Chain A
Amino acid sequence: MVYITSWDEFVERSAQLFRADPDSTRYVMKYRHCDGKLVLKVTDNKECLKFKTDQAQDAKKMEKLNNIFFTLMSRGPDADVSKLQGKNRQKHNQGKEGEGNNSFVGC
């Protein structure tokens, strides 16, 4: 299965997939409380993107992705989601810088 490790990449590619074929693209969420796992899938029946996690912070990110999809699906693929995505990017950039520094310190 095509599991994507980067959240931003998953969001970017899912949005692209949806815009390319809005009628056949669907977004599936699977949650297992007993295992504490969350899996997200976006597919247009030709290509499939998946993201799995057990982190609470990813649940928050998923909520933002839900907002993006709701907007795209009910208002149409041309709906403006740049505001929703922009916030994600800023936060993730800060996170990335932090992670980069951490690895440097480790060495």
Chain B
Amino acid sequence: MVLLQLDPFLNELTSMFEQSTEKGTVWVTLKRSSLKSKVQRNKMATAGEPVEYRCLIRATNGKKTISTSVGAKDHQRFQASYTTILKAHMTALKKRERKDKKKAAGADKKEGSKKP
């Protein structure tokens, strides 16, 4: 399991998507974690210190796993980059057929005007 910084993680994630275009899967997991053991957390709670939580993000293509952890400060920036990567690579999904929608919407309008 490779723990990376934010930007290298994003780069590796991009290359994972590119490599698994013809064949393969990309898994991305999001989990909240404080990255400390239960004992440490209990100690911190009793001592009155606030436990700092981060968002743990893991990505794998079945063979290689990479991970990174994002705190509240970095999450906006990471979110933006992550969204961009996903949009760029999830191109195999079917697009909605707008023609049917437009025809139906047109028919609805006509019906709506006839009724009153």
Contact = CB atoms under 8 A, between A and B. Distances in A.
Contacts of B43: none
A29 B87 contact: no
B84 to A, nearest CB: 10
Contacts, number: 125
Interface residues of A, number: 38
A70 B87 contact: no
B12 to A, nearest CB: 16
Given A54-B94, A57-B96, A105-B108, A30 B31 contact: no
Nearest to B104: A102
Nearest to A72: B32
Interface residues of B, number: 42
Contact of B93 (A58, A72, A74, A102): A58
Interface string A71-107: 1111110000000000000000000001001100100
Interface string B20-35: 1111111111111100
A59 B54 CA distance: 25
A57 B98 CA distance: 12
A46 B70 CA distance: 26
A28 B93 contact: no
A38 B26 CA distance: 10
